[in-house]
């Protein structure tokens, strides 16, 4: 069966402009162009569009989607099973969040008394989801799925009191880092205090060993988003200072040839 660009757009619930854009960036090419210059799509293109929209629903950028579906080992059946697994996972997260919202509504209307822990549960879920959306692919590639899932599990099990402590430590780190940057000595006592606060903060998210801590310090410099965060919070150069302070704390140096930290 063949579809005009207008009929395919209507079928998929997207705009013809979107389909034209997908064609322009070589994400989804039409089957052919007819004698009148209109794009014509076939069943293969319909199936590919379905995959694209599934990946978009997972909030993957178009460049990443293009990379996935253009790969030689792309398997539609395996992709569908993966989509199913992700959708079921998302469905369970939304179910728990919905229950939390419903309890909150009942609590506000006087139907039930909701504990602080119950109110907090839905919030923790949203924090995990937001972090996965922003940094999931990067941290999974760097540390592995099991380490990331372990970290999410630990975060999900935090009590409200523990979460309040995490938030407080975040503020303390930035304030202490600001003072340490002014001091200007990554090997000084103020810098050491920052690193120990940072270690304490990390302990709430997983068992971070020395190399992982050093790796995070390097990532704060390499990734412009983290650089901007720390530089905005504690002054220009704060991300580099934090990296150097962590290295000084462990007496380590970065080997640029192997891109690894070496404990001296």
Identify the weakest region by mean pLDDT among 85-99, 198-212, 245-259: 85-99
- Phi, psi values for residue 261, rounded to 5°: -90, 135
Is the pTM higher than 0.75? The answer reads: no
Closest CA to 214 of 158, 151, 152, 264: 264
Over residues 116-132, the pLDDT tens digits come to: 555 555 556 666 776 67
d(CA 264, CA 250) in angstroms, rounded, equals: 8
Q: Which fold has domain 3-70?
A: Multidrug-efflux Transporter Regulator; Chain: A; Domain 2 (1.10.1660)
Three-state DSSP at 263 gives strand
Are 124 and 163 a contacting pair, CB within 8 Å?
yes
The reported pLDDT for the residue numbered 124 is 64
Q: Which fold has domain 160-263?
A: Globin-like (1.10.490)
Write down the mean pLDDT value for the chain: 81
Does pLDDT of 208 surpass 80? no
Does pLDDT of 176 surpass 90? yes
The reported pLDDT for the residue numbered 189 is 94
Dihedral (CA of 10, 12, 17, 20) sign: negative
Closest CA to 159 of 204, 117, 101, 114: 117
The reported pLDDT for the residue numbered 112 is 46
Closest CA to 232 of 217, 222, 220: 220
Confidence of residue 242 (pLDDT cuts 50, 70, 90): very high
Give the percent of the chain with pLDDT over 70: 81
Nearest 5°: CA angle at 234, between 230 and 240? 55
Over residues 27-70, the pLDDT tens digits come to: 999 999 999 899 999 999 998 999 898 888 877 788 888 888 88
Q: What are the extents of the domains in the chain?
A: 3-70, 76-156, 160-263
């Amino acid at each position: 069966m063949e579809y005009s660009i207008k009929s395919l757009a209507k079928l998929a619930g997207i705009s013809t402009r979107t389909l034209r854009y997908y064609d322009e960036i070589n994400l989804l090419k039409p089957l052919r162009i007819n004698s009148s210059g209109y794009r014509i799509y076939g069943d293969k293109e319909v199936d590919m569009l379905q995959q694209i929209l599934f990946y978009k629903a997972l909030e993957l950028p178009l460049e990443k989607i293009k990379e996935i579906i253009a790969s030689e080992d792309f398997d539609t059946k395996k992709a569908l099973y993966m989509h199913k697994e992700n959708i079921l996972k998302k469905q369970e997260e939304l179910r728990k969040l919905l229950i939390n919202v419903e309890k909150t509504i009942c609590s506000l209307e006087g139907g039930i008394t909701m504990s602080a822990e119950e109110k907090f549960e839905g919030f923790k879920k949203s924090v995990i989801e937001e972090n996965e959306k922003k940094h999931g692919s990067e941290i999974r590639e760097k540390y592995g799925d099991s380490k990331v899932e372990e970290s999410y599990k630990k975060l999900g099990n935090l009590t409200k009191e523990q979460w309040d402590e995490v938030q407080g430590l975040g503020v303390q780190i930035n304030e202490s880092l600001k003072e340490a940057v002014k001091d200007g000595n990554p090997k000084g006592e103020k810098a050491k205090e920052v690193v120990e606060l940072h270690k304490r903060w990390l302990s709430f998210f997983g068992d971070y060993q020395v190399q992982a801590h050093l790796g995070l310090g390097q990532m704060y410099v390499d990734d412009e988003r983290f650089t901007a965060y720390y530089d905005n919070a504690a002054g220009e150069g704060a991300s580099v200072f934090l990296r150097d302070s962590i290295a000084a704390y462990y007496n380590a140096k970065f080997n640029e040839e192997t891109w690894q930290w070496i404990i001296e």
